[in-house]
Chain A
Amino acid sequence: MEIELNGLKETIPENISIDALIDLFKEGDPDLIVEINCKYIFPKNYKTTTIMENDTIEFINPNLGG
């Protein structure tokens, strides 16, 4: 199925979780923030949140500098 990840169209397997998506795209930041369709997802829910067709997803590396 198709999704948009960080502004790019991507084709991914159906019914995968955020955790699996993070693995699939080899995103290595352990502190990653994920938003789906402009909604923040709690990291503890990455395992149980399933990606749906046409979701717009952004991986955000938290900026904590000042």
Chain B
Amino acid sequence: MVESDKQKITRNRRYARQVILPQIGSEGQKILGKTSVLIAGAGGLGSISSLYLAAAGVGHIIIADHDHVEESNLNRQLLHSEVSLGIEKTKSAAIRLTELNSSIKITPLQTKMTRQNIDSIAKKVDIFVDATDNYNTRQILNRASLKYNIPFVFGGVQGFDGLVSCFVPGRTPCFECVIPCPKKENNSLGIIGAAAGIAASIQAMETIKLILNIGTGEDRLENRLLRISGLDMKIKSIKLEPDPECTACSDVDP
């Protein structure tokens, strides 16, 4: 579809404060508008990454979750509010994101991501933004990331802390190289909302950098694990390398 002058003017007005950045510009804004992103989870992380990506004008946001909004979500899941209690999280998310930016497409996917349905989801998106709360779903996303060559922007939070990294097939280790399957179950973790906010904001920033190919791999969080330690407020970048024996990615390259 050919873009009209009016569409271009509207876009450049709405996104003026980022279009003036040399790294984005009018062309970059247009690319953001043509990009589809999966936000895998509408909880603490997904609330913040989806708001920033919608505000930035990412053209299509698919937000997936299978839960309903509960009162104990509200300390951190800023997509939802008291009026959304009891309703589907993705419906609540779609309402809020559309209020924020009605010019982009929001697709709520009220389902659990599984090995069965991930293929059809992956085929529709350019990038995965991790906002899940468990290892199994991350493993499903990681395998699909490797299979379909889709960057996977990992984020995980607990307590006052967070971890973030960009796993890009062919350029970096994969999620499973770095985080092996947990030996112990971790249910209902304590979490301060701002920890999710920090990690998810970094994920949103890295997602935009990946979409627009801003900076080098070293500038982006590729081959690095960012560790945010909120109690002593220290942020550390840990150098990563692929595990040659990783069962998920080691035989990906022919």
Question: Hey, which bits of chain A sit against chain B, CB under 8 A?
Answer: 7, 29-31, 33, 35, 38-40, 42-44, 58, 60-66
The prevalent SS among residues of A at the interface is loop
Contact of A64 with B161 in the complex, beta carbons under 8 Å: no
Contact of A64 with B134 in the complex, beta carbons under 8 Å: yes
Q: What chain B residues lie within 8 Å of A64 (beta carbons)?
A: 133-135, 138, 156, 158, 179, 182, 186
Interface status of B191 (Cβ within 8 A of chain A): yes
Contact of B44 with A65 in the complex, beta carbons under 8 Å: yes
Question: Hey, which bits of chain B sit against chain A, CB under 8 A?
Answer: 41, 43-46, 130-135, 138, 155-159, 161-163, 178-180, 182-184, 186, 189, 191, 196, 225, 227, 232, 234, 236-241, 243, 245
Contact of A38 with B237 in the complex, beta carbons under 8 Å: yes
B227: which of A29, A43, A44, A60 is its contact (CB, 8 Å)?
A60
A-B contact sample (4 more), CB < 8 A, given A7-B234, A40-B241, A62-B163: A35-B227, A62-B179, A64-B186, A66-B130
Minimum CB–CB distance from A58 to chain B (whole Å) comes to 7
Q: Given the known A-B contacts A31-B182, A38-B238, are A65 and B191 also in contact in the complex, defined by CB atoms under 8 Å?
A: yes
Cβ-closest chain B residue relative to A30:
B183
Minimum CB–CB distance from A32 to chain B (whole Å) comes to 10
Contact of A66 with B243 in the complex, beta carbons under 8 Å: no
Q: Given the known A-B contacts A58-B236, A66-B132, are A43 and B180 also in contact in the complex, defined by CB atoms under 8 Å?
A: yes
Would you list 26 pairs from A and B whose C-beta atoms are within 8 A, ordered by A residue? Answer: A30-B182, A30-B183, A31-B182, A31-B184, A35-B227, A35-B236, A35-B238, A38-B236, A38-B238, A42-B243, A60-B227, A62-B156, A62-B163, A62-B179, A63-B156, A63-B162, A64-B134, A64-B138, A64-B179, A64-B182, A66-B43, A66-B45, A66-B46, A66-B133, A66-B155, A66-B157
CA distance A61 to B159 in the complex (A): 11
CA distance A39 to B43 in the complex (A): 31
Minimum CB–CB distance from B174 to chain A (whole Å) comes to 13
Cβ-closest chain B residue relative to A41:
B238
Minimum CB–CB distance from A9 to chain B (whole Å) comes to 15
CA distance A38 to B240 in the complex (A): 9
CA distance A60 to B44 in the complex (A): 21
CA distance A66 to B131 in the complex (A): 5
Q: What chain A residues lie within 8 Å of B183 (beta carbons)?
A: 30-31
CA distance A30 to B180 in the complex (A): 11
CA distance A62 to B134 in the complex (A): 11
Minimum CB–CB distance from B207 to chain A (whole Å) comes to 16
